[in-house]
Amino acid sequence: MSQTKLDMTSLALKRPVTTMMAFLSLLLLGLVSAKLLPLEMFPGIEIPKVFVQAPYQGSTPAETERQVTKILEEALAQMSGVQEMRSWSNEDGAFIDLNLKWGESIANKSLEAREKIDEVRHLLPRDLERVFVRQFSTEDMSILTLRISSERELSNAYDLLDKQLKRPLERVQGVSKVELYGVNKKQVEIRVNADRLSASGLSLTQLQQQLARENFVLAGGLIRRPGQVLNLNPQGEFRSIEEIQAYVIAPGLTLGDIADIGFQLPENRERRHLDGNYAVGLNIFKESGANLVEVADRVLKVVDEVKANPQFNGIKMYVMEDQAKSVKASIRDLTLAGLLGAFLSFFVLYLFLRNFRMTLVVVTCVPVSIAITLGAMYLLGYTLNILSMMGLLLAIGMLIDNAVVITESILQEQQKGESDAIQKGVNNVSLAVLAGTLTTAIVFLPNIFGTKNELTVFLEHVAISICISLGASLLVARTLLPLMLKKFHITSKPKTQDGRLYRGYRRSLNWCLTHPRWSTVIAVVILASTALPLSMVQQDQSDNNEKVRLFINYNVEGRHSMAVTEALVNEMEAYLFANKQEFGFESVYSFYAPWRAESTLIYPESHDLDMDVIKKKIREGFPKFAIANPQFGWRGNENSGIRVTLTGRSTTRLMEMAEQIVPMIESLEGFTDVRSEANGEQNELVIRFKRDHINRLGLNSEDIARTVQTALRGTPLRSYRHDASGELRFELSYQHQWRNSLELLKTLPVARVDGRILPLDSVAELVERPRLENVRHIDRQTALTIGANLEDGVTIEAAGKTLRQLMDNLEYDDGYGYKMGGGFQRQDEEQQVMIINMILAIAMIYIVMAALFESLLLPTAIITSILFSITGVFWALLFTGTSMSVMAMIGILVLLGIVVNNGIVLVDQINQMSPTQEELSDVVTKVCLTRIRPVLMTVATTVLGLLPLAMGDTQIGGGGPPYGPMAIAIIGGLLFSTVTSLYLVPLCYQGLIRVRFRSAVQLGRSHKISQRWLPWIPN
């Protein structure tokens, strides 16, 4: 094959000062970029979800479903690109999640959702104030989550926390938003005395209309006078509590005469504990493009200053989540792994080269390439996050490959005594290293341009840093490396091929080439052996990666008062703290509301505890509750973990089915913490109006219902804007005594007819009946999810088979069924996409090699190394006891582009020799002997660079999936394919060349015969 000469190397050798200054500039750019590159947890990725929220507090789940959810679902179902629609209807309102296709414009879809909602806005209840449409990206995640606790009461500490903590944090450079929750801002309440209001002769509706007319601000227009224009603003706002009390609602009657008016704290619908004390939450968000670590450091500095404030004596501030800490841990782990890998690589290279200066020159290519990569990432607008750092870590072991191949080629030319050894040595392998670099990078193209899912989108950001760094290493190896070898006058002693390694390899290779049939049989047997580990290695999602959190779900049945659920939490916390030393946790954080409660055990970042053993101990001593059944929370979310979803028409029927199925799943081996997401039925009061009686009295059922609504929920008025704390909520309600007694509620005055006050029970009947706590839909179909955790050692694959067998054997009513969700569905989708992308990657590798070698036959010899690398992957996973996870599949994808590199150089070297048929075996053996040292060097540096990751427990972001399976897959596949390709690539090459020669001879004979017997056929 003709060698295409590139001028890059000759230019570098002719202009050494220019070349050195260029690389010095790139190095400085990289050093500066390392400081300027924004540090983030994740790159800015738009999550393909649109969240629709319609708050409608005080309603029942069934009414919310009928009046709100179904109307919104019908409108939103007309949107294109929606893969799945999930909805929840409860007493707080309707919540709808639209799962879209990856790659969709989320901004456009959010706008489309708003338009669809506006089209049906007139069909929604009049008292539904607003429908929120939100979207989410990784940049919207809070960078810091704080919990503030104290032995003193914090429920009335809003002003202190807002002015002394929240506002100073909002002024920190790089902070975009601060959320304070768990403590409420005071509001102005008008608590009407129902009896006095009835005695006044005014109805509640009339009073509400009067207050609305008196509390206003209007834009009155403009007043023009010579040389001046003035805005006219009629203002009728209440400016003080005294003014509200003195407001005249009827002749001789003020509002203060019939109502208690003042500042009140809203009812707390949820509460938090930290280590047994009342707690408040604080979330801090950063600006887009700001450096995560720097912003977090500035925020924590302000927090420390606030702690020193005497007003915060006795108040504890605990950092629950810190993205910067995770990023720092990831950088630290990757740096240590990278430095250890680099040291091992340097040591191995020195053992092979036995020349310190030469080893130093070759290794220098790595930091220079990384510096160029950082500079390029900064100029292209990328960030340094856990995904790009993962790509850099993977690339470290490969950055030295091109330098080793080119250095070895140059040394071979020097030993031949060539005068222009450096230029010729580079040219000999220039096409091979270009092809190797392209094949390594091209395996990611299907992930970048193919089917999009969460895995491929995140892999795209990994691929960017890998591709840029490989391009940089190619540039350095073609220019800076030859220049340094020339200027430092680095040469090596003549190598002999009489060592034990060379002699053994020569004999075994000669036998392989002279016994092609036996060699082929051995290769087929080795390839067939893949079936053994393939059947024994199980697949797993690796969902159980959280080592610093344990989540306890109380599974509260029904709805209770806040005091009742708080008593449950107090008893659980007392049990946990009594055994704190045995359980080994640092803190306990609890969240509770009338219908739910959860506790989180927070563990130190580094510990040697067996979390499964700890969970077993904790589970055995759980307190017994009559209204709750505490279990450990499910791992993962709706797209991960163990989930099976029942579908049908009736939520009640689905709950009955779940009650029967949950015990069956609990009896299966390996399943724990099994439960359905339904909390059981609650009771509700239904007001059934006596319509005939109401009509005879000339009353309106809706007015009576609104009176009851105001008594129990309150009615918002225009906000109160003249308080030192800012704008406050302004609410009209009855005194709260009506909310605490059913018997008292029946006597609530709802109308006045002919001077007679009518109580509620005279115009309506109050009936208590059961109701659902929540109504769930999936794709507009009623659904109920059953979830579970898995015991240690049980994989998702094994659990899925067992669970499917159980669910398939059940009988379902017409219109009812089930579908596997969570990790089962996600695993199937990701594996399908990854397998397709791997096949496409192999096809693209073949295309690149065919184009570069200008042959359809020769790339087939190199492709064999890919097949045997897969064999090595499964044997490595089997020997190490590692499951086939997504990280392992990523390792296989990276491996596809690496294993062909040595074969490419080998085939290219043989082609340059252009051997005849008689010389073929000798030439193949000679080239293989010259290639064994660089092959072993490149493989050793790559393997040793990944070895710390394979042996350690480094995780993505400090708490994500471990790097181990990926590193094990690459190491196992690379080692196995290297050993086999040193024999099988030459064997396949020799066989293919001979097949081509025989085919050409046979074709020539056929042509001669055709010319003899069919002379009229043109040549």
CA angle, corner 655, sides to 654 and 661, nearest 5? 85
Q: How confident is the model at residue 641 (pLDDT cuts 50, 70, 90)?
A: low
For residue 372, pLDDT over 50 is answered with yes
For residue 57, pLDDT over 90 is answered with no
Q: Report helix, strand or coil for 757.
A: strand
CA distance 524 to 467: 34
CA distance 374 to 468: 9
Contacts of 346 (CB under 8 A, 6+ apart): 359, 363
Domains and CATH numbers, the chain: 1-26+355-495 (1.20.1640.10), 43-139 (3.30.70.1430), 187-264+683-772 (3.30.2090.10), 496-528+855-1004 (1.20.1640.10), 549-682+774-821 (3.30.70.1440)
C-beta neighbour count of 269 within 10 angstroms: 12
Q: How confident is the model at residue 459 (pLDDT cuts 50, 70, 90)?
A: confident
Q: What is the mean pLDDT of residues 474-488?
A: 89
Q: Can you name the residues that pair with 566 across neighbouring β-strands?
A: none
Q: 3-state SS of the chain: helix, strand, coil percent to 5?
A: 55, 20, 25
Range name among 66-70, 513-517, 791-795 with the lowest pLDDT average: 791-795
Characterise 520 by phi-psi region: left (phi > 0), alpha (psi -120 to 50), beta (else). alpha
Q: How confident is the model at residue 6 (pLDDT cuts 50, 70, 90)?
A: very low
Q: How confident is the model at residue 299 (pLDDT cuts 50, 70, 90)?
A: very high
Q: What is the mean pLDDT of residues 362-372?
A: 88
Mean pLDDT of the chain: 83
Q: Can you name the residues that pair with 593 across neighbouring β-strands?
A: 596
Q: Report helix, strand or coil for 74.
A: helix
- Which pTM value belongs to this model? 0.76
CA distance 109 to 97: 13
CA distance 955 to 803: 30
Joined together, the tokens standing for residue 469 give 């760094």
Joined together, the tokens standing for residue 682 give 């609650």
Q: How confident is the model at residue 991 (pLDDT cuts 50, 70, 90)?
A: confident
Q: What is the mean pLDDT of residues 797-821?
A: 85
Strands (DSSP E) contained in 698-837 are 715-720, 728-734, 749-753, 756-759, 764-772, 775-778, 781-790, 817-821
Amino acid identity of residue 1008, one-letter, is K
CA distance 83 to 64: 24
C-alpha distances (whole Å) from 19 to each of 22, 23, 482, 588 are 5, 6, 11, 60
CA distance 552 to 547: 15
pLDDT at 858: 80
Q: What is the mean pLDDT of residues 234-259?
A: 85
Contacts of 573 (CB under 8 A, 6+ apart): 273, 276, 588, 590, 599
pLDDT at 2: 40
pLDDT at 494: 57
For residue 1012, pLDDT over 80 is answered with no
Q: What is the mean pLDDT of residues 836-845?
A: 85
Amino acid identity of residue 892, one-letter, is I
Joined together, the tokens standing for residue 128 give 């539904």
Q: Can you name the residues that pair with 143 across neighbouring β-strands?
A: none
Residue with the two structure tokens 């450091």: 297
CA distance 176 to 156: 26
Contacts of 541 (CB under 8 A, 6+ apart): 640, 796, 823, 826, 827, 885, 886
Q: What is the DSSP string of 127-138?
A: T----EEEEEEG
Q: What is the mean pLDDT of residues 910-938?
A: 80
CA distance 327 to 384: 10
Q: What's the DSSP call for residue 251?
A: T
pLDDT at 567: 92
Q: How confident is the model at residue 1 (pLDDT cuts 50, 70, 90)?
A: very low
Q: What is the mean pLDDT of residues 315-321?
A: 86
Q: Which residue has the higher pLDDT, 751 or 495?
A: 751
pLDDT tens digits for range 723-773: 777 788 888 888 888 887 888 888 888 888 877 888 888 888 888 777 677
Contacts of 807 (CB under 8 A, 6+ apart): 644, 661, 818, 820
Q: How confident is the model at residue 1019 (pLDDT cuts 50, 70, 90)?
A: low
pLDDT tens digits for range 122-176: 898 887 878 999 888 777 788 898 988 887 777 778 888 888 899 999 999 989 8
Are the C-beta atoms of residues 323 and 927 closer than 8 Å to each other? no
pLDDT tens digits for range 565-623: 999 999 999 999 999 888 888 889 999 988 889 998 988 877 778 888 888 889 888 99
